Chains A and B, each alone.
Chain A
Amino acid sequence: MDKIGRFGDFGGQYIPETVMTAVHELEAAYDKYKDDPEFNRELRELYRDYANRPSMLYYAEKMTKDLGGAKVYIKREDLNHTGAHKINNVLGQLLLAKKMGKKRIIAETGAGQHGVATATVCALMGLECEVYMGSTDMERQSLNVYRMNLLGAKVTGVNSGTATLKDAINEAFRDWCSNIDTTFYCIGSVMGPHPYPTMVRDFQKIISEEIKAQLMEKEGRLPDAVVACVGGGSNAMGAFYDFIEDKSVRLIGAEAAGRGVDTPEHAATIAKGDLGIFHGMKSLFLQNEYGQIDEVYSISAGLDYPGIGPEHAYLHSTGRADYFSITDEEAVQAFEYLSKTEGVIPAIESAHAVAAAMKVIPQMSKDQIVVINLSGRGDKDVYSIARYRGVELDEK
């Protein structure tokens, strides 16, 4: 990081003055606690006893044989409590919120995974929870809405703009502007104003630390590639971070190409985005020539965000990480492939990473190793995959 809150030229704190004081307060609290032994002891304990960490690193033998290239390992973030990597970040942020004496938590959610994780930890810690969710997303992820309600959270539908993730973030910012004294904004990805991109990455970097140690134990060496899907980019930053200095490890992000990057319906920010400043950060965004933010599309509600975390934009600009665009069709095929080959139903988001990995694995030699970060489980997606395949499920 070059200066505070910047990754090269990316990042920053482009937010209304009303929330500046709160962001500074958060920055100070995070600086105080991030290396505090007691805070870290509590967090490690929550990771282990509540979230089920460490998540397993599993050798996918059938997939390895079938693809005939590099050896495939799967990092099972889908086995965490609440079924995705999101819990790592939420436990960290809400433990911090408690230390700061905040009683009310707000969050945005796209697919609902971050909302569910936030509602879960709020229940655990006895905090009031309000989750903003685009009304379009509420429809396509109704199960997660009900799940959040069960956990005691209030889910507020957002009808403005495109009624999806970016609008939920807008509304959460507006709420924060109004309730700055009582409220902690728990952002779900490595995005937003500093310190969020750094803080969320720090709470997720346990993924790469574990991969490194687990693979060292199993194979006695580093992987040759680590692959993860990227929406805002938190599971990917978590999976990449401890390998950034290990230049022999190729880092591959998989972003959502929807119906194709040459159609208007995609969310491929790295492939098609331009430099911009939005949601508190300078990064890449899908936008028109006048800077109006585009409506984006992906079969995956967790990847259809028109921007990307600033550290990813930086890793892309320096060439340290490569980003593949994966279409809906490729992701659905990978979703089905992993289910049938390994008996693991991946989140449709994570299926984008599987699809990207399947492009490189056959090109690699048998003595090489690829780790796929399986960021979440796919139960939530079964309905939409069935719909995609034209299958009517009679459950309602």
Chain B
Amino acid sequence: MKNRIDACFEALKAEGRKALVTFVTAGDPDLAATEDIVLEMFDKGADIVEIGVPFSDPIAEGGTIQRASLRSLKNGTNLDQIFELVSRLRDTTDKPILLMMYINTVYRYGTERFFENCKNVQIDGVIIPDMPFEERDEVKEYADKTGVYSIYLAAPTSKERISMIAAESKGFLYIVSSLGVTGTRSEITTDFNELLAPLRDGDYVPGCIGFGISNGEQARKMADYCDGCIIGSAIVNIVEKYGKDSVQPVGEFISSVREALDA
């Protein structure tokens, strides 16, 4: 079976549209709310959803996602419950679902068992921000065996490394917009033309820019450089504010970004 991520980007390309990838932390404020939020995001125009697996020490995250992880862990959220969540989501949606998580969560669960479970509940890919290209062998064998995509990150500091990373990444390349950790930023100043230049003439996976994108206007601007954009903290901020009543405000926000992207 074709990976849903590939199918998604092919369809978008045919329509001349940009991908909207959205993120939410699982179990914040609880898993039932996460389920509703994910479905609402797909409904309002998200193409791919990343579900954040909470970790006690998320070193790549800014305050917003750190706090969401903590709230979720206080609720007792664990990886098995997140597999069950995705399994339930698959009754309703056939769109690409990814997990965003730290390597210790995969390793401690048992890498082989982790990827088998991803395959069973139809998780299409994983993003592991503390597993750089050099440590890819940590998951490669099992990811390849199960057909679950491992999506790698490239950063503004990756100029010399970006083609190597893009060649390894499956589904898409996660392009980190700026130095630093996740969280909304008023301005993104990275020279993407320069950063992405090495990828211009090759046959690479699509690229999506994330970290710091907080509204439709920024999303539109970023998407001009690549194939889509990723929004995380801006959504988690809404969940932090509205808790169990987040579904509608998240939906409205996603609609506004979708509209800007398609304009």
Interface of A toward B, CB cutoff 8 Å: 12-22, 160-161, 166-167, 170, 173-174, 177-180, 274-280, 282, 285, 287, 289-293
B131 beta carbon closer than 8 Å to chain A: yes
Rounded to whole Å, the gap between the CB of A23 and the closest CB of chain B is: 9
Asked if B59 and A170 make an inter-chain contact with CB atoms under 8 angstroms apart, the answer reads yes
Contact of B78 among A21, A161, A290 (CB under 8 A): A290
Given contacts A18-B157, A170-B59, contact A12 B73 (CB under 8 A): no
State in angstroms the CA–CA spacing of A19 and B129 once bound together: 11
Closest B residue by C-beta to A171: B59
Provide the bound-state CA to CA distance between A180 and B155, in Å.
12
Binds A, one of B91-99, B103-111, B192-200, B238-246: B103-111
Given contacts A17-B158, A18-B157, A277-B103, contact A177 B60 (CB under 8 A): yes
Our pick among B57, B73, B102, B158 for the contact of A166 (Cβ within 8 Å) is: B57
Q: For the complex, is B165 an interface residue (Cβ under 8 Å from A)?
A: yes
CA distance A20 to B134 in the complex (A): 9
Is B161's beta carbon under 8 Å from chain A?
Answer: yes
Structural contact, A21 and B161, CB atoms closer than 8 A = yes
Interface segment, one of B118-126, B174-182, B228-236, B254-262? B174-182
Contact B57 A17 (CB under 8 A): no
Tell me the minimal C-beta distance from A311 to chain B in angstroms: 18
**What are 18 residue pairs bridging A and B, where the CB atoms are less than 8 Å apart in the complex?**
A13-B134, A14-B135, A17-B154, A17-B161, A17-B176, A20-B157, A21-B157, A167-B57, A174-B59, A177-B179, A178-B179, A180-B179, A275-B107, A275-B108, A277-B130, A292-B55, A293-B56, A293-B104
Closest A residue to B105 by beta carbon equals A291
Cα(A376)–Cα(B161), bound, Å: 43
Smallest Cβ-Cβ distance to A295: which chain B residue: B56
**Are the CB atoms of B180 and A177 closer together than 8 Å?**
yes
B133 interfacial by beta-carbon distance below 8 Å: yes
Q: Give CA–CA (A12, B165) in the complex, Å.
A: 18
B7 part of interface (Cβ distance < 8 Å): no
Judged by a CB distance under 8 angstroms, whether B237 is at the interface is no
The answer for the CA separation of A256 and B180 in the assembled complex, in Å, is: 34
Q: Which residues of A contact B25 (CB under 8 A)?
A: none
Cα distance, A22 to B157, chains bound together (Å): 9
Instruction: Choose among A14, A22, A173, A276 the residue with the greatest number of B CB atoms under 10 Å from its CB.
Output: A14
- With A and B bound together, what is the CA distance between A161 and B109 in angstroms? 22
Do A276 and B180 have beta carbons less than 8 Å apart?
A: no
Q: Which residues of A lie under 8 Å from residue B180 when comparing CB positions?
A: 18, 174, 177-178
Task: With A161-B57, A167-B57, A290-B79 as known contacts, state yes or no: A17 contacts B108, CB within 8 Å.
Answer: no
Residues of chain B lying within 8 A (CB to CB) of residue A282: 107
Taking a contact as CB atoms under 8 Å apart, the answer to whether B158 and A276 are in contact is no
Q: CB distance A287 to B179 under 8 Å? A: no
- Contact yes or no, A290 B109, CB < 8 A: yes
Who on chain B is nearest to A289 by CB?
B108
B-side interface residues toward A, CB under 8 Å?
Answer: 55-60, 62-63, 66, 70, 73, 78-79, 102-105, 107-109, 129-135, 138, 152-158, 160-161, 165, 176, 179-181
Query: Which chain B residue shows the least CB distance to A18?
Result: B155
How far does the alpha carbon of A223 sit from the alpha carbon of B100 in the complex, in Å?
51
Q: Measured between C-beta atoms, what is the minimum distance from A331 to chain B in Å?
A: 27
Chain A, Cβ-Cβ closest to B152:
A17
Q: Which residues of B contact A180 (CB under 8 A)?
A: 157, 179
B153:A276 contact, CB within 8 angstroms = no
Q: Across the interface, which residues of B come within 8 angstroms of A289, CB to CB? A: 108
Q: How far is the CA of A292 from the CA of B105 in the complex (A)?
A: 7
Q: Please give me the residue from chain A that is nearest to B157 by CB atom.
A: A21
Nearest to B108 among chain A residues (CB) is A291
Minimum-distance CB pairs A-B, first 8? A291-B108, A178-B180, A18-B155, A21-B157, A292-B56, A291-B104, A17-B155, A173-B59
By a CB distance below 8 angstroms, the chain A residues around B57 are 161, 166-167, 170, 278, 293
Beta-carbon contact of B107 and A277 below 8 Å: yes
Question: CA A328 – CA B200 in complex, angstroms?
Answer: 61
**In the complex, A160 Cα to B59 Cα: how many Å?**
11
Task: Give the chain B neighbours of A291 by CB distance below 8 A.
Answer: 55, 102, 104-105, 107-109
Question: A12 — which chain B residues lie within 8 A by C-beta?
Answer: 135
Known: A18-B157, A276-B107, A290-B108. 14 other contacts (CB 8 A): A14-B135, A15-B132, A16-B59, A17-B158, A17-B161, A17-B176, A22-B157, A161-B56, A170-B58, A178-B180, A277-B104, A277-B138, A291-B55, A293-B56
Q: Are A17 and B56 in contact (CB under 8 A)?
A: no
With a cutoff of 8 Å between Cβ atoms, the chain A residues found around residue B70 in the complex are 160-161
Determine how close the nearest CB of chain A comes to the CB of B103; give it in whole angstroms. 5
| Shortest distance from the beta carbon of B4 to any chain A beta carbon, whole Å | 25
**Chain A residues, Cβ within 8 Å of B131:** 14
**Closest CB in chain B relative to A294 CB, distance in Å:** 8
Q: State whether B132 touches A16 (Cβ < 8 A).
A: yes
Closest chain B residue, CB of each to CB of A282: B107
Q: Is the CB of A15 within 8 A of B130?
A: yes
Residues of A within 8 A of B58 (CB): 170
Q: How far is the CB of A274 from chain B (nearest CB, A)?
A: 7
- Taking a contact as CB atoms under 8 Å apart, the answer to whether B181 and A13 are in contact is no
The answer to whether B157 and A287 have CB atoms under 8 Å apart is no
The distance from the CB of A161 to the nearest CB of chain B, in whole angstroms, is 6
How far is the CB of B169 from the nearest CB of chain A, in Å? Answer: 11
Inter-chain contacts of A170 with B (CB < 8 A): 57-59
Contact A177 B134 (CB under 8 A): no
Least distance between B51 CB and chain A CB atoms (Å): 15
| Chain B nearest Cβ from A153, distance in angstroms | 22
B159: nearest chain-A partner, CB-CB: A21
Q: Which of A21, A22, A173, A291 is most buried by chain B, counting CB atoms within 10 A of its CB?
A: A291
* A59 smallest CB distance to B (angstroms): 44
How distant is the Cα of A40 from the Cα of B56 in the complex, in angstroms?
40
**Inter-subunit contact A16/B108 (CB<8 Å):** no
Contacts of B135 in A (CB 8 A): 12-14
Q: How far is the CA of A289 from the CA of B113 in the complex (A)?
A: 14
CA distance A101 to B229 in the complex (A): 36
Inter-chain contacts of B165 with A (CB < 8 A):
17
- Considering the complex, give the chain A residue whose CB is closest to the CB of B81: A290
